[in-house]
């Protein structure tokens, strides 16, 4: 049975509409030119961190933004950050978190995920782009481990949360990631926590979009099977956590420092 059920597809449909992605019935290939335009915009204006290129399994390189902490702490893990639909790794909450988490001691790597055209539908992302997304998540962990970070955790938002879920579906037994911070997941997890003992921090906003809020109870029930997992509501936050980024950092930092 396909783990991405019809209710998840409905949730992703609402998510993309919320992000103002116009509907289209045509099929679209992955938009590498759009990725290049994002890079051409982001890299010259980068204030925090360094732009790096990581080679995917396809031999194409993708952009990532690597930020070392101002006060390194060897006891803390490095964090791979995965953004939402149709944007870049310095956009919105991911762009803010990659810098703020570095300020409190974490090395961060925000990764450019596969994108499609502005007119793309849900089916143009899932399942067409998910294999490449999973590969990029795996390669991001390899990049950090090659730099000497033995402990790496995964943080993902919105559509990026489903890309991360797809990665974990195939790699749960072998992944190097030690924990998963999932923000604004539309729907439930695609697998029971008993299959995957990684600690999970499930975050949602009090004013989040309906597919996120309607599945809060189901996700919380699933987390009860996971070792060290928890669910946190950010008071007053919408799906993009606008103005609530400091609260996010506090919650994420507390969760990661408590990991054994």
CB atoms near residue 239 (< 10 Å): 24
The first and second tokens of residue 46, run together, are: 């980068």
Predicted model pTM: 0.86
Q: Let me know the angle formed at the C-alpha of 169 by 92 and 89, rounded to the nearest 5 degrees.
A: 20
Q: How confident is the model at residue 194 (pLDDT cuts 50, 70, 90)?
A: low
- 84 pLDDT higher than 70: yes
Tell me the C-alpha distance between 220 and 199, whole Å.
13
- 12 pLDDT higher than 60: no
Q: Which residues contact 188 (CB under 8 A, 6 or more apart)?
A: 8, 215, 218, 219, 222
Fold (CATH) for 6-257: Rossmann fold (3.40.50)
Mean pLDDT of the chain: 86
Q: Which residues pair with 78 in a beta bridge?
A: 152
Q: What's the confidence (pLDDT) of residue 78? A: 98
- 59 pLDDT higher than 60: yes
- 54 pLDDT higher than 90: yes
Q: What's the confidence (pLDDT) of residue 123? A: 65
Q: What's the confidence (pLDDT) of residue 115? A: 87
């Amino acid at each position: 049975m396909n783990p991405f059920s019809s209710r998840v597809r409905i949730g992703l449909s609402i998510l993309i509409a919320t992000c103002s992605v116009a509907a289209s019935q045509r099929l679209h290939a992955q938009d590498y030119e759009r990725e290049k335009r994002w890079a051409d915009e982001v890299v010259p204006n980068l204030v925090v961190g360094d732009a790096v290129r990581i080679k995917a399994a396809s031999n194409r390189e993708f952009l990532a933004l690597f930020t070392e902490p101002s006060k390194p702490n060897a006891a803390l893990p490095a964090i791979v950050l995965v953004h939402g639909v149709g944007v870049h790794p310095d956009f919105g909450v991911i762009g803010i978190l990659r810098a703020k988490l570095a300020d409190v001691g974490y090395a961060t790597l925000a990764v450019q995920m596969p994108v499609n055209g502005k007119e793309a539908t849900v089916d143009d992302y899932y399942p067409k782009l998910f294999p490449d997304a999973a590969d990029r998540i795996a390669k991001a962990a390899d990049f950090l481990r090659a730099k000497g970070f033995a402990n790496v955790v995964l943080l993902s938002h919105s559509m990026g949360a489903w890309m991360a879920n797809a990665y974990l579906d195939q790699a749960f037994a072998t992944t190097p990631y030690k924990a998963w911070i999932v923000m604004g997941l539309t729907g439930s997890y695609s697998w029971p926590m008993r299959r995957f003992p990684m600690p999970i921090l499930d975050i949602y906003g009090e004013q989040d979009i309906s597919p996120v809020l309607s599945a809060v109870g189901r996700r919380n029930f699933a987390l009860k099977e996971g070792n060290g997992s928890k669910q946190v509501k950010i008071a007053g936050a919408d799906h993009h956590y606008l103005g609530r980024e400091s609260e996010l950092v506090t919650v994420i930092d507390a969760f990661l420092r408590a990991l054994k």
